[in-house]
Amino acid sequence: MHNKNVLGVLMAAGKKYRFASVLLLSVLSYSFNATAADENKQNNAAGAALQTCRVIHTDAERLECYDRVAKQFAPPTYKGKLSSVTDLFKLDAPHRLRYRSYGFIFVLYVLDADKNIVQNIHLGGTGEDEYIIEAPGTYSLQIDGSAGWEIWLEPLDTPN
């Protein structure tokens, strides 16, 4: 009788784990499909923007258009959620630090190689802004956010 109870418990546990496995696969599949859909949407928007630039007749205006598209669709240097600290990176020239927050709290610290705060940046609510790192040097970034965020490091000689 005892063996039947153990067998019954094991079978019930197997069903429970099978259900959990199916549920997990469903969630992962949905997550993958949502990410793929977002990437397709981004690719379509980039393609449409590039096509708009192609038909501009004057060289200067066409180049300006392509520069805007490159900035808009460039992948971020750093991307994450909530809090993170980047590895050290070296800048040999001034750079634009462009940042975007998708949450209601975003605090960004620019740190030097010794972890001293060079600049403390706050962004209230969702949005995008930039800061110029003027001095060449070795830096890292400490990010504290309430949601997702993206950060780009761009050489300063690139257009806004």
pLDDT of residue 142 exceeding 70, the answer is yes
- The number of CA neighbours under 13 Å toward the Cβ of 74 is 18
Ranges of each domain in the chain = 2-69, 77-155
pLDDT of residue 1 exceeding 80, the answer is no
Cα–Cα distance, 29 to 1 (Å, whole number) = 42
Residue 59 C-alpha from the chain's centroid: 32
Is residue 148 classed exposed, middle or buried when 0-12, 13-18 and 19+ CB atoms within 10 A define those classes?
A: middle
**For the chain, the helix, strand and coil percentages under 3-state DSSP, each to the nearest 5:** 40, 40, 20
Cα–Cα distance, 67 to 7 (Å, whole number) = 67
pLDDT of residue 70 exceeding 80, the answer is no
The pLDDT of residue 10 is: 45
What are the pLDDT digits (tens) for 33-65? 444 555 555 557 667 777 788 788 888 888 888
The pLDDT of residue 31 is: 43
The pLDDT of residue 114 is: 96
Q: What average pLDDT score do residues 79-92 get? A: 94
Given a contact cutoff of 8 angstroms between Cβ atoms, the answer to whether 150 and 100 are in contact is yes
Name residue 141's amino acid: L
State the CATH architecture for 77-155. Sandwich (2.60)
pLDDT of residue 89 exceeding 50, the answer is yes
